[in-house]
Amino acid sequence: MAYYRQVGTVPPKRHTQHRTDEGGLYYEELMGEEGFSSDSSLLYHRGLPSAIVDSQVWELPDQTTTPNHPLKPRHLKLHELFPKEVWAETDVVTGRRLILGNGDVRISYVVSTQDSPLYRNAVGDEIVYVESGQATVETVFGTLEAKPGDYVIIPTSTTHRWLPHGEGPLRAYAIEANSHVAPPKRYLSRYGQLLEHSPYCERDLHGPTELVHGEGTDVEVLVKHRAGGAIVGTRMVYPAHPFDVVGWDGCLYPYTFSIHDYEPITGRVHQPPPAHQVFEGNNFVVCNFVPRKVDYHPLSIPVPYYHSNVDSDEIMFYCGGDYEARKGSGIGQGSISVHPGGYAHGPQPGAYERSIGAEFFDELAVMVDTFRPLELGEGALACEDTNYAWTWAGRGPGGSQQ
């Protein structure tokens, strides 16, 4: 995100001396994307950011995936995955259960009241959507406050931890990319400013404003990274706490963006999913479906027309309101619908006709569209509604009524 910020103290000129009050040097670290060819920030540390004293294997949670074969749409009930008795034993990093994944993106879900360990994802950027609950996210760039409806965007290799607080658990929907994520290119000027037709602008992006300082020695950080073509984990131990930054500046940093600050694009007839797009990564996009006025042509049909995903899988996470197109299918808060490429899908029976004359939809959903097939993680297999695929026909295999 090419939008400059500065927090703390930095020298007037980059790559020059920045000294402590006692005369010692702070250590400058360039954190940049695509080598030295894209967005970056300069961070100034009290200690050497490269100093480690141990490195051991961190066994990741189950990352096994199963192909969606035979091909069919699926309904996943995420709220069944984390009973209340496990909330206090679960954190937002190590407690994630894999729902869907491919070589470009992995989608996980977690419910937690426990502080997470220090963590960084060296595979790609993370977009963590807060379904409910609140948390302070402490990062090497400073603190972020996350609330219901917030996307927390965390650049690759940003050391951070999640500290849930307030009433109720933190419910988090984690989208882990194998790439960087950014606003759609069509929303940006050639220099990176969000344009007038974009459904959000820089005022809606909330980066760190206060640094956080950690204490302690022999501090463990969990690192997710690539090795041998697989995604693996390592426990690195640092002689001093990595939250030792006295200042930074640049255009690369974590930030929050509220789904409630997204201004929906509407029209006289039904708008296609790209009108709802909010982010994009390599081979996937993220879209919002938010409360909005709907189509106002006198003959309009406000719910989506039936469509075939010839190039993509469509994953809809229902996180608020009342989604008109899915009534009668058992979809509710915390549901995911998986509509794969090669399958024509659309509104549930009755919803097409019933939507005529509607003026407003009160719905909230996060959609991920991928351009390679997604496979099912262990979390998906544990919470599937096996009757969903047959709800358009009213009967299942062999003629059984549903």
Instruction: Say what the pLDDT of residue 324 is.
Output: 66
Of 75, 180, 270, 276, which is the active-site residue? 270
> What's the token pair of residue 134?
């609140």
Q: How many residues does the chain have?
A: 402
Does residue 34 sit within a domain?
yes
What is the largest distance, in Å, between two alpha-carbon atoms of the chain? 81
The verdict on 290 and 172 lying in the same domain is: no
- Residue partners of 390: CB distance under 8 A and separation at least 6: 396, 397, 402
- Write out the two tokens for 282: 């390599």
Structural domain harbouring 18: 5-259
> Which pLDDT belongs to residue 352?
81
Write phi, then psi, for 256 (nearest 5 degrees): -115, 150
Task: Give the per-residue pLDDT at 24.
Answer: 97
CATH code of the domain covering residue 124: 2.60.120.10
> Of 259, 288, 320, which residue is a domain's last?
259
323 is in an annotated binding site: yes
Neighbours of 98 (CB within 10 A): 23
The position carrying tokens 């693996």 is: 232
Please indicate if the annotation marks 18 as binding a ligand. no
Residue 394 lies inside a defined structural domain of this protein: no
The single residue listed with the structure tokens 């960087």 is: 180
Pair 170, 106 in one domain: yes
The predicted structure's pLDDT at residue 145: 98
pLDDT for res 328: 66
Instruction: Tell me if 391 is assigned to some domain.
Output: no
Q: Is 45 annotated as a binding residue?
A: no
Which pLDDT score, from 0 to 100, does residue 389 have? 94
pTM assigned to the model: 0.95
Query: Is residue 393 assigned to a domain?
Result: no
pLDDT of res. 89 = 95
* Domain annotation covers residue 36: yes
Show Cβ contacts of residue 239 under 8 Å, excluding neighbours closer than 6 positions: 47, 51, 52, 53, 217, 218
Per-residue confidence in pLDDT tens, the chain, 402 aa? 569 999 999 999 999 999 999 999 999 999 999 989 999 999 999 999 999 999 999 999 999 999 999 999 999 999 999 999 999 999 999 999 999 999 999 999 999 999 999 999 999 999 999 999 999 999 999 999 999 999 999 999 999 999 999 999 999 999 999 999 999 999 999 999 999 999 999 999 999 999 999 999 999 999 999 999 899 999 999 999 999 999 999 999 999 999 999 999 999 998 888 999 999 999 999 999 999 998 989 999 888 888 888 899 999 999 988 776 676 678 999 999 999 999 998 888 888 888 888 888 899 999 999 999 999 999 999 999 999 999 999 887 866 555
- Return d(Cα 46, Cα 28) in angstroms, integer: 9
Assess if residue 314 is contained within a domain: yes
pLDDT at position 1 is 55
270 and 326 share one domain? yes
307 is in an annotated binding site: yes
The reported pLDDT for the residue numbered 325 is 64
Residue 61 confidence (pLDDT) = 94
What distance in Å separates the CA atoms of residue 172 and residue 147, rounded to the nearest whole number?
Answer: 11
Residue 22 and residue 367: Cα distance in Å, rounded?
52
Q: Which residues lie across from 338 on neighbouring strands?
A: 74, 315
Residues 338 and 243 reside in one and the same domain: no
Q: Return the SS3 of 183.
A: coil
**321: nearest Cα among 265, 365, 260:** 365
The number of folded domains in the chain is 2
Q: Is 225 a catalytic residue?
A: no
